[in-house]
Structure formats: C-alpha cells, structure tokens
Chains A and B, each alone.
Chain A
C-alpha cells in the first residue's frame, strides 16, 4: 500500500557516507514497515480534524514521563536522559516525580504483588490523557520470573499502550517504543484506557 507521504531515499545522504548503516539508509527501496502502515490506516479511518491534529501534535511532542524506575530497566531509562541517547530531542527530558504532572508512566522493571498497589495508585493519580509503556520483559509479561511474587505482566493492573521487549531493552529500543507512542498519539489513537478499559 502506498503511503501518502514519501519516505526519503537516504542511501545517498551524508549519513550513509558517515557510516550509519541502518536499514532505512542502506535499503533505498524499503517501504513502510507494518507499524507505519497500521498507523496510516487508522489515521485515515479516524479522520482527525485540523484542530485535533494540532492538539495531538502538541501532546506527542511534550510527553512528560514519571520517574517510575523499578529495577534494571531503570538504568537504561536513566541513560536515555543522558547526552548519548538524548530524549530531550523529543521533548521528554522533564521527568516528573509527581504523577499529577506526568503524562507517561514508563514501568521499567519487575513489578511485584506488593508493588502493584502503589503502581496502581500512581497510575490513578495521573491526569488524563495518560499513557503507559511497559518497558522490558518483566513489565510486559513477568519476564524470566514466573513465580509467586512477580506480577505476570503489568497490564494486569494498568492498561498498557506500548510494550518494549528486552532484558533490559537498549536505550535505543526504549526510544523506538517512545517514538511509536508518539506516532500513535499523532495519529489520533486514543490512549489505552479508552480502548481497553481499566481494571478496577
């Protein structure tokens, strides 16, 4: 399916000459991936007005995450704040400790049954619109810990928008997840609580 906007052919760009060798750069005829096609399709179906598009654009470009670092994934989450993988380029360097001022909850690390209560409390304190990224294998599905104490997936207590696999996911992988979230927001897809409903 042809995209409305043409992806640029990047292989003759300075990036390729400088040594960047990602898929898009080396493969000039690569079309849009499955994710982009889906988002494109949904965006067409939703048919946002210009005002809604503008609001979505504004929301996507300044999503403020909450400091919900739990375990190993938190180390990689902190490193996206560092200058090497700069998340400030996407408007997200302002990590807020108060959930009332946060838009995004990046659940980074294993969630135990004891922590599920506070997690849910933090989620409830966030103001809508709010999004959740389940970062890492433990938050997405319990990871390598299938036992009496680890919650097998954080989507048992909060509705999740994006799952980022990895143990821990590289900072670039987390940023891919965040960028996909931005794409979702800009396309007008409602946050997960509106689609999936929230467990009580």
Chain B
C-alpha cells in the first residue's frame, strides 16, 4: 500500500506483509496527525524503540563475520554470507498504527535518531502513547519533547542508566557451582 500524502515521508518499505513508512523525525507529529485524521489510523498499538549499536559487527550475533564478508573457517559458521543491511542511525522508534476498518490496515511509522536527539511526543494525538513514551525514556533513554510527565516508569525512580540500551550490561550474578572453590 502506498501512503503518498504523509508529510515528511522519506522511504516506504514493504516486507513480511507489513508496510513501514520511514518519516523524518522533525515532521513526526505532522505525519502522525495526517495518518490519524486523513487515513483513519485512530489506534496506536505500540511504540517500539530499538537500539542498533553494534549492528552487523563481529561478535554481536556471534556468527556474522567481518566487514570483508563471512569467514567460513570460523567455528560455528552456518555459511551465511551476508551482513545485515546497515541502519541509518543508532535508535529507531516505531509507531505501530491500526485502522479499525474492515479489513484492518496496519502501518509502522519509523523514525531514526542518534543518541541525545529528542523527538516530539505524540501524546496529543494518541493519549495512549503516554506510558509507552515513558517506557521508551526509561529503558532506552529517548527523550520526548512535550511529554507531560516524562519520568521513569518501570525502573526505580533513582535508577541510573537505561537498561535496554546495548551498552548497558545484562547484569545479574555469576552462578556459583557447589563443586567449585
């Protein structure tokens, strides 16, 4: 499906039966308002932040080889010769929208950000984004301009760091076995 009238549209991708509209971060609110009012996407299903730090590098997925290609002699290789497509910036925020029509239409609006950049909050358009954006701030550290109450939601109020970022350690404790000293 093509959505031409969306303000700030940079690219459209179709994969696995889904449409992704990559939108310029500066015109996000315009694009979302257009989609809600003109195209009928009244339901914001989910707001998904993702961190792509280390995407495509050696050791991240473990078996993707180097930038020169796949090392078939490396142990555990399954012969995949391709690196994943590089991503434009470090963070992506995906807005999964649903139009309550028959048949239903789904679309994903995707914006790309670097660390430290903020984007506008869509709470005025879909009030449900309130907690989703708080979670994105809490776990990923993405700041939303204009959000009425951008505080931590899942972690402790005085927690430092943003746990779901790739440079934040998984944490936990080493497991001690009874046979060891």
Q: Which residues of A approach B to under 8 Å, CB–CB?
A: 113-114, 142, 145-150, 152
Contact = CB atoms under 8 A, between A and B. Distances in A.
B163 interface: yes
A147 B156 contact: no
B173 A142 contact: yes
Contacts of A114: 155-156
A148 B169 contact: yes
26 contacts: A113-B156, A114-B155, A114-B156, A142-B172, A142-B173, A145-B172, A146-B170, A146-B171, A146-B172, A146-B173, A146-B175, A147-B170, A147-B171, A147-B172, A148-B163, A148-B168, A148-B169, A148-B170, A148-B171, A148-B172, A149-B155, A149-B163, A149-B171, A150-B172, A152-B172, A152-B173
Interface in B153-172: 155-156, 163, 168-172
A150 B170 CA distance: 11
Q: Interface majority SS on B: helix, strand, loop or mixed? A: loop
A148 B167 CA distance: 13
Nearest to B168: A148
Nearest to A148: B171
Interface residues of B, number: 10
A152 B156 CA distance: 17
Nearest to A117: B156
Given A147-B170, A150-B172, A152-B172, 19 more contacts: A113-B156, A114-B155, A114-B156, A142-B172, A146-B170, A146-B171, A146-B173, A146-B175, A147-B171, A147-B172, A148-B163, A148-B168, A148-B169, A148-B170, A148-B171, A148-B172, A149-B155, A149-B163, A149-B171
A118 to B, nearest CB: 12
A76 B81 CA distance: 48
Interface string B114-143: 000000000000000000000000000000
A113 B173 CA distance: 14
Contacts of A113: 156
B27 to A, nearest CB: 36
B156, B170, B173, most chain A CB atoms within 10 A: B173
Contacts of A149: 155, 163, 171
Contacts of B155: 114, 149
Contacts of B175: 146
Nearest to A113: B156
A145 B171 CA distance: 10
A146 B174 CA distance: 8
A74 B115 CA distance: 40
A138 to B, nearest CB: 13
Contacts of B172: 142, 145-148, 150, 152
A147 B175 CA distance: 12
Question: Which residue, of A113, A147, A148, A152, has the highest number of chain B Cβ atoms within 10 A?
Answer: A148
A142 B172 CA distance: 9
A177 B170 CA distance: 32
Nearest to A146: B172
A152 B168 CA distance: 19
Task: Return the 6 tightest CB-CB contacts between A and B, nearest first.
Answer: A148-B171, A146-B172, A147-B172, A152-B173, A147-B171, A114-B156
A163 B169 CA distance: 29
Interface string B81-97: 00000000000000000
Nearest to B157: A114
Nearest to B171: A148
Contacts of A148: 163, 168-172
Contacts of B169: 148
